[in-house]
């Protein structure tokens, strides 16, 4: 049996609003995934370390503080440094449309803004896993 999809839901930076992150965590759990929730105020280094130790398929990061252009590229680079470039990196929170191309260039696979239906996030992850998940992402290089 394939193990359940493991997702790290992380909340970096200084903002203290994790309602959105918790809603997403709950929705992913209800979709049969194992969700590791880190809590507030995580540094990029700690998020990367948690992704290593928990051997996750997906890292989902919520940023409301406006620091997404700093935090997300650092997390993406940290994952690459650990050899976790196959891990799916997703972003959520308040992220202006004009910043999305820069985030994607940095290694964020998709950005889900406010009002996103959680079903869309579940579908995105499941679709990525069906295509082979981290294994296939690595093999494609």
Partner 1 sequence: MRHATGAELAAALRAGDRRALARAISLVEEGAPGARELIQAVYPHTGRAHVIGITGSPGAGKSTLVSALARAYRREGKTVGVVAVDPSSPFTGGALLGDRIRLDGDAPDPGLFFRSLASRGQAGGLSRAASDVVDLMDAAGREVILIETVGAGQSEVDVMDVAHTTVVVTMPGVGDEIQAAKAGILEIGDIFVVNKADRDGADTAVAALEMMLDLGAGVVSVDAGHHGAGALAAPAAAPQPQMEGAAWRPPVLKTVARDGVGIPELIAALARHRAFLDASPAGLERRRRRAADRLLAVAARMLLERLARRDGRLDSLAADVAARRLDVYSAAEALLSPHPMSSQRVVGTPGTDKPGST
CB of 98 to partner 1, least distance (A): 31
Task: From 59-67, 99-107, 111-119, 133-141, give the range in contact with partner 1 by CB under 8 A.
Answer: 133-141
Q: How many Å apart are CA 79 and CA 11, to the nearest integer? A: 16
Q: Are 60 and 50 in contact (CB under 8 A)?
A: no
The single residue among 14, 23, 45, 120 that binds partner 1, judged by CB under 8 A, is 45
- Work out whether 29 is an interface residue with partner 1 (CB under 8 A): yes
C-beta of 33 vs 111, nearer to partner 1? 33
Q: How many Å apart are CA 18 and CA 10, to the nearest integer? A: 9
CB of 134 to partner 1, least distance (A): 7
Pick from 52, 20, 51: nearest CA to 38: 51
Q: Are 92 and 24 in contact (CB under 8 A)?
A: yes
What SS3 class is residue 92? strand
Q: Mark 75-114 with x for binding to partner 1 (rule: CB under 8 A) and - for no binding.
A: -------xxx-x----------------------------
The single residue among 53, 102, 104, 119 that binds partner 1, judged by CB under 8 A, is 53
Q: How many Å apart are CA 110 and CA 93, to the nearest integer? A: 12
Q: Are 7 and 35 in contact (CB under 8 A)?
A: yes
- Work out whether 26 is an interface residue with partner 1 (CB under 8 A): yes
- Work out whether 37 is an interface residue with partner 1 (CB under 8 A): yes
With tokens 């050899």, the residue in question is: 83
Question: Where on the chain is the footprint of partner 1 (CB under 8 A)?
Answer: 1, 3-4, 25-26, 28-39, 43, 45-46, 48-50, 52-55, 82-84, 86, 134-135, 138
């Amino acid at each position: 049996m394939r193990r359940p999809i493991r997702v790290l839901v992380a909340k970096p930076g200084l903002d203290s609003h994790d309602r959105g992150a918790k809603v997403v965590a709950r929705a992913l759990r209800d979709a049969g995934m194992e969700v590791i929730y880190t809590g507030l105020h995580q540094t990029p280094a700690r998020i990367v370390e948690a992704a290593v130790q928990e051997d996750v398929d997906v890292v989902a990061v919520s940023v409301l503080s406006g620091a997404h252009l700093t935090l997300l590229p650092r997390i993406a680079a940290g994952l690459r440094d650990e050899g976790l470039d196959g891990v799916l990196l997703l972003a959520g929170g308040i992220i202006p449309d004009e910043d999305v191309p820069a985030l994607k260039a940095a290694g964020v696979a998709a950005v889900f803004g406010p009002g996103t239906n959680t079903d869309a996030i579940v579908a995105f992850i499941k679709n990525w896993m069906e295509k082979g998940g981290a294994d296939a992402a690595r093999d494609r290089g």
